[in-house]
Chains A and B, each alone.
Chain A
């Protein structure tokens, strides 16, 4: 097992729970703000009512640092990616530009040809935020923000068994809609990224439709709460009884 893995204290069994009696759910205030579509909020509020009907308790809870999650993530992840992707240098495997005159030309052409636009963007951002003179302002600050996010979650779990939010603030956007605006695209991950920065288990349940498109409900648990989280998700999933009937696209000749 590698150094980033820990042995789980017990096995996960297939969940069978059918009610949520006495379970306390925190509704993360920050994820229901302006960025959240009214249609998404509506489906989410219906799901909260279902939780109540199963005997669960829902209360709002504020985690102020999670709003900085996207900003921190788009420094930390590109920094690591810029380093992780350095191994694609054409020396041992993968694409290599044929016929380069020297090592520098081989590196430059191999990597220019082999990576797509989003990967190059992240490599450049990551290289920048790790550079001498910028490290503290970007990478150091982002890691401190990550610590604040972890602390916010830890505090919330002192009062709640699980936290809930929409999985994404909007329903799916059309293909190509945000391709020119990566920042807007990154915002789709507003609610899920802080969970990953904190290393917490989470699950997304289809909770209903808005404008004919599915809306997800995200359930977040403390570290190593997978079993309980899956039990709660199972009970809620039965109650939501989501019928996935996506609208069939009309085919025109």
Chain B
């Protein structure tokens, strides 16, 4: 008997091995200002321009907690079904690194903001896989090192390093999952759906390329049923694809080591996407001692029941609920509702189009079809699309009323993307548009019937095929723009009548 087929895809874990994966996700919050000072959090500014004495760690400066960051972190904790800690405190995590101005990171330790949550992940095969959330905690981001003088931009081969503190002090939320993930596919689905959730919560730009969403993975392998193997930490995979490929490579490396009788050593591992290989960065044998202790410069944060209830009440509709509503309210099939419900911007766009066009299924087909294809091909964000929801719904109305055929509507849509003109203008300028004007077509039909008495007589005698001749004549006269349904109807009426 064969085993379930969803595990047999390329890069999956073979049946006689089991991978155990836990993810640590860092989310940069898109608050206006940093975690403990008033500096802006904008991305891509000139180095060391978004800084002040506080986030540069000058002596004598003191931090003040960003209230909005606490609110956003609470939103995340609640959306992941965590218990919110009523009395939560910051700790100092002490270590030396040039991108860490104070010599410690203000983070959380044994009293994190949220604990004990979960995310229900929908897998490729439609099954629901529940992944536990160990904790959700707040911290500040470090600065960024730029390694100069080397070919790769990496630290190897560089002759000096520059520090940009713009990112230093940006609010971060760290989400730690339980080791409930078993395959790279599951990890990817988890991260994708977590990203969708965060998007709905409107707390972060969740852009992996810009680093506002970052993912590390703890990975080990074992024979099914055996105790946990030694884990390694796979660092900073900055895309969904690299997460999956990095995990595949690391799982393969660990299985290879164990199968050839070697041991897996506890280490930090780096995935190189260009070679597809993993390399060990540093051994974890001399484990860091971060000397955590409660941050004496900050007061504890009391999140009472009323506060938590208020944040909970302010949560927007989340993907799972949205999917249900799209099915119930618009009668969409589960698949369509899932696709449109998981992407916040696309879901919003769909709702506007469906409302204005008055046909939800048609709107869903177009938003998921031609519109999504356009986004994918150009990399444009939904909000910046050349064709807004009102413009698309105008096009769909022309389609629904019969002014345009499906084929024509697709062409008009392409023109709208290129020119930014409304559908009606494109149709007029190009002389497109089905002739659905009954009076105009009726004139033509009458004329053709009178002009062709022979075929008309044949049709009346029962030769249905002759209708095709008349349709052909109408189409010839209208250069193919007559509404076929209407033409059929009118011809029958006038031939028989």
B78 CB → nearest A CB, Å: 25
Instruction: Please measure, in the bound complex, the distance between the C-alpha atom of A91 and the C-alpha atom of B97, giving whole angstroms.
Output: 9
**What's the minimum C-beta distance from B113 to chain A, rounded to whole angstroms?**
17
Within 8 A of B (CB), among A94-127: 103, 107, 127
In the complex, B299 has a CB within 8 A of chain A: yes
Query: What string of 1s and 0s marks CB contacts (under 8 Å) between B47-78 and chain A?
Result: 00000000011110011110000000000000
The answer on a CB contact under 8 Å between A80 and B296 is: yes
Question: Which A residue sits closest to B59, measured CB to CB?
Answer: A87
The stretch from A28-36, A131-139, A243-251 touching chain B is A131-139
Q: Summarize B's interface: helix, strand, loop or mixed.
A: loop
Asked if B63 and A83 make an inter-chain contact with CB atoms under 8 angstroms apart, the answer reads no
A111 to B, closest residue via Cβ: B96
**Which of A3, A103, A139 is within 8 Å of B63, CB to CB?**
A3
**Is B57 a contact partner of A87 (Cβ separation < 8 A)?**
yes
Per the bound structure, the CA–CA distance linking A91 and B57 in Å amounts to 11
Q: With an 8 A cutoff between CB atoms, is B420 at the interface?
A: no
Give the A-B contact count at a CB cut-off of 8 A.
62
Interface string of B406-418 (1 = CB under 8 A from A): 0000000000000
User: Nearest-CB distance from B148 to chain A (Å)?
Assistant: 14
Write out, one digit per residue, whether chain A residues 58-92 have a CB within 8 A of any chain B CB (1) or not (0). 00000000000000000000011011011111011
Q: Is the CB of B103 within 8 A of A89?
A: yes
Known contacts A4-B297, A130-B291; is-contact A92 B62 (Cβ 8 Å): no
Q: Are B102 and A86 in contact (CB under 8 A)?
A: yes
In angstroms, Cα B104 to Cα A91, docked, is 14
Q: List, in ascending order, chain B residues with CB within 8 A of A131's CB.
A: 289, 291
Q: How far is the CA of A80 from the CA of B103 in the complex (A)?
A: 12
Task: State whether the Cβ of A2 lies closer than 8 Å to any Cβ in chain B.
Answer: yes
Q: Please report the C-alpha to C-alpha distance between residue A85 and residue B293 in the assembled complex, in whole angstroms.
A: 15
Known: A83-B291, A91-B98, A91-B163. A4 touches B103 (CB 8 A): no
- Does A173 belong to the interface (CB within 8 Å)? no
Question: How far is B102's CA from A93's CA once the two chains are assembled, in angstroms?
Answer: 12
Residues 96-115 of chain B, each 1 if its beta carbon lies under 8 Å from chain A, else 0: 10100111100000000000
Give bound CA distance, A86 to B63, whole Å: 16
With CB as the reference atom, state the residue of chain B lying closest to A126: B291
Whole-angstrom distance from the CB of A132 to the nearest CB of chain B? 5
- Closest-by-CB residue of A relative to B36 is A3
Q: Given the known A-B contacts A87-B57, A89-B103, A107-B96, are A130 and B62 also in contact in the complex, defined by CB atoms under 8 Å?
A: no
Contacts of A87 in B (CB 8 A): 57-59, 101-103
Nearest-neighbor residue (CB-CB) of A94 within chain B: B59
- B357-382 contact mask (Cβ, 8 Å, vs A): 1 or 0: 00000000000000000000000000
Residues of chain B within 8 A (CB-CB) of A107 are: 96
Q: Is the CB of B59 within 8 A of A3?
A: no
Are A103 and B98 in contact, CB atoms less than 8 angstroms apart? yes
Among residues 35 to 73 in chain A, which have CB atoms less than 8 Å away from a CB atom of chain B? Answer: none
Which B residues between 86 and 104 are near A, CB-CB below 8 angstroms?
A: 92, 94, 96, 98, 101-104
Q: Are A3 and B65 in contact (CB under 8 A)?
A: yes
Query: Nearest chain A CB to B154's CB is how many angstroms away?
Result: 15
The docked-state distance in angstroms from the alpha carbon of A8 to that of B293 is 29
Q: Is there contact, CB below 8 Å, between B94 and A130? A: yes
Q: Is the CB of A2 within 8 A of B64?
A: yes
Among B94, B293, B299, the residue within 8 A (CB) of A86 is: B94
Q: Report yes or no: A86 in contact with B104, Cβ–Cβ below 8 A.
A: yes
Taking CB atoms, residues of chain A closer than 8 Å to B296 are: 80
B-chain residues with CB within 8 Å of residue A80 when the two chains form the complex = 296
- Which residues of the other chain, A, contact B92 by a CB distance below 8 angstroms? 83
B291 touches A2 (CB 8 A): no
Q: Which residues of B contact A127 (CB under 8 A)?
A: 291
* Residues 9-64 (chain B) with a chain A CB within 8 angstroms: 56-59, 62-64
Choose among B56, B64, B98, B104 the residue that contacts A83 (Cβ–Cβ < 8 A): B104
Q: Are A2 and B63 in contact (CB under 8 A)?
A: yes
Is B391 an interface residue when CB atoms closer than 8 A count as contact?
A: no
Residues of B within 8 Å of A139, CB to CB, are 293
Q: How far is the CA of A17 from the CA of B297 in the complex (A)?
A: 36
B291: A residues at CB distance < 8 A: 82-83, 127, 130-132, 135
**Contact indicator B96/A3 (Cβ below 8 Å):** no
Is B298 at the interface (CB under 8 A from chain A)? yes
Choice from A2, A83, A85 contacting B62 with Cβ under 8 Å: A2
Docked Cα-Cα span, A91 to B58, in Å, equals 12
Cβ-closest chain B residue relative to A133: B289
Contacts of B299 in A (CB 8 A): 3-4
Q: For residue B290, which residue of chain A has the nearest CB?
A: A132
User: Shortest distance in angstroms between B68's beta carbon and chain A's nearest beta carbon?
Assistant: 16
Alpha-carbon separation in the docked complex, A179 to B57 (Å): 32
What are 29 A-B interface contacts by the 8 Å CB criterion? A2-B63, A2-B297, A3-B64, A3-B65, A3-B298, A3-B299, A4-B297, A4-B299, A80-B296, A82-B291, A83-B291, A83-B293, A85-B103, A86-B94, A86-B96, A86-B102, A86-B104, A87-B57, A87-B103, A88-B59, A89-B96, A89-B98, A91-B101, A91-B163, A130-B292, A130-B293, A132-B291, A135-B292, A139-B293
What 5 additional pairs, Cβ within 8 angstroms, besides A3-B63, A87-B102?
A: A3-B62, A86-B102, A87-B103, A130-B292, A132-B291
Pairs of residues from A and B, 9 with the lowest C-beta to C-beta distance, nearest first: A86-B103, A2-B62, A130-B291, A87-B57, A132-B289, A91-B98, A3-B299, A3-B298, A87-B102
